[in-house]
Amino acid sequence: MLVFCNPDIHSTFEQIKYLVDVTKSSETIGLLFIDTSNNLGNSQDITILDVSNKAISCLYIIRKRIFERLSGWDENFFLWGEDTDLCLRVRQLGLTTSFARNLGIKHDAGVTWRSNDLEKNIFYTKVWLSSQTYLHLKQTGIFAARKYLAKQIIIELMRIVSRKKP
Among 51, 90, 77, CA closest to 132: 77
- Write down the pTM of the prediction: 0.74
Q: What are the angstrom distances between the C-alpha of 45 and each of 19, 100, 102?
A: 15, 10, 6
Query: From CA 143, how far away is CA 86, in angstroms rounded?
Result: 22
pLDDT, one tens digit per residue, over 25-65 is 999 999 998 876 555 444 555 555 666 566 678 889 999 99
pLDDT of residue 41: 47
- Positive or negative, the CA dihedral 152, 158, 161, 162 is negative
> What is the pLDDT averaged over residues 90-103?
86
The mean pLDDT of the chain is 82
DSSP string for 25-91:
H-TTEEEEEE--SSTTS---S-EEEEESS----SEEEE-HHHHHHTTSS-TT-SSSSHHHHHHHHHH
Is residue 61 within 8 Å of residue 1, measured between CB atoms?
yes
**Residue 103 amino acid letter:** L
What number of other Cβ atoms are within 10 A of residue 161's Cβ?
8
> What is the pLDDT averaged over residues 64-84?
90
